[in-house]
Amino acid sequence: MMRLLKPVSVADTARLVRMCAQWLKDELGLEIVEYRIGNAFTGSIDILAVDRGRVYLVTVNTGRLSDAILESLTGYRWFCENSEFLHRVYRSGSIDLLQKPVLVLLSPEYPPEIHSVLRLGLAVEFRLFKYLVLGSEDEPDLYVEEAHGHEAATAPAAFDPAEIRRELGIEKAGLGDEEIVEFLAAVRGH
């Protein structure tokens, strides 16, 4: 007999967030630092996690994707404004919240080319995961997979030397585009 598994919605978002956190811990090896940190006025993060050298600011989308992206970016701003304080509070042997943050979004679905849109529009790194809740509301099962951007190979790189010069206030230093490219390649060890 064939059974069709239909997605179920979990009304208890706190429970869903904890299930996602468990997946991030088990499958990606992240260390969970805190849940639901921040506030609704200035920004919040559903899951704050770390691994070696990176900080992950995780948002779990339980509504509209546009709201979740806005929540993620607002949470990112809140984190940047409070990172030193958070670092002092949560610092331990394995937790260093002053590392470069990565925004992680878990959502049931994404529009096409979301990766190239985010890459072109934002300076901060995003990782997108699709999730699906099956089973029943009382006993939900979570399935998660990373949403890889298949369009990434053909998307133009978001690298604009003139913009970097403006951002860093070094327009008058006389660095050419080629020199900037070579410098960045050198410090990356290429």
Partner 1 sequence: MSVKDRPKLGRGLNDVSRFFLTPAARCGQEPREGTVPLARPASICVCHPASPLIQSAFTANLALETARNRRKAVVWDCSDQENARLTALMGSLLETGPGQGGASGRVGLYGLPEIVIHDGRAGWGFQGAETDDGVRMDEGDGREPLVIVNACPTIEFFLAAPDADEHVVITGTGEKDLLQSYAFIRVIDARSPRCRVSLIFDHAEDEVRQQRIIQRFSAFVLARTGRSVRHLGSLVHDEALERSIAEGRPLVLQQGPSEARSSFAGICALLIEGCEHAHEGAGS
Q: How many CB atoms lie within 10 A of CB 118?
A: 20
96 or 151: whose CB is closer to partner 1? 96
Whole-number Å distance between alpha carbons of 8 and 137: 6
7 or 176: whose CB is closer to partner 1? 176
Instruction: State how far the alpha carbon of 140 is from the alpha carbons of 28, 31, 133, 136, in Å.
Output: 21, 23, 6, 5
Whole-number Å distance between alpha carbons of 190 and 148: 25
84 or 109: whose CB is closer to partner 1? 84
Among 1-9, 25-33, 143-151, 176-184, which window interacts with partner 1 (CB under 8 A)?
A: 176-184
Min separation Cβ 183 and partner 1, Å: 6
Min separation Cβ 173 and partner 1, Å: 4
Min separation Cβ 158 and partner 1, Å: 14
Helix axes 177-187 and 161-168, enclosed angle (nearest 10): 80
- In DSSP notation, 128-165 reads EEEEEEEE-SSSEEEEEEE---GGGGTSPP---HHHHH
Which of positions 36-75 make contact with partner 1 (CB under 8 A)?
53
Whole-number Å distance between alpha carbons of 118 and 127: 10
111 or 189: whose CB is closer to partner 1? 189
53 or 111: whose CB is closer to partner 1? 53
- Does residue number 6 form part of the binding site for partner 1 (CB under 8 A)? no
Residues interacting with partner 1, by CB under 8 A? 53, 84, 88, 96, 98-100, 164, 167-175, 179-180, 182-184, 186-189
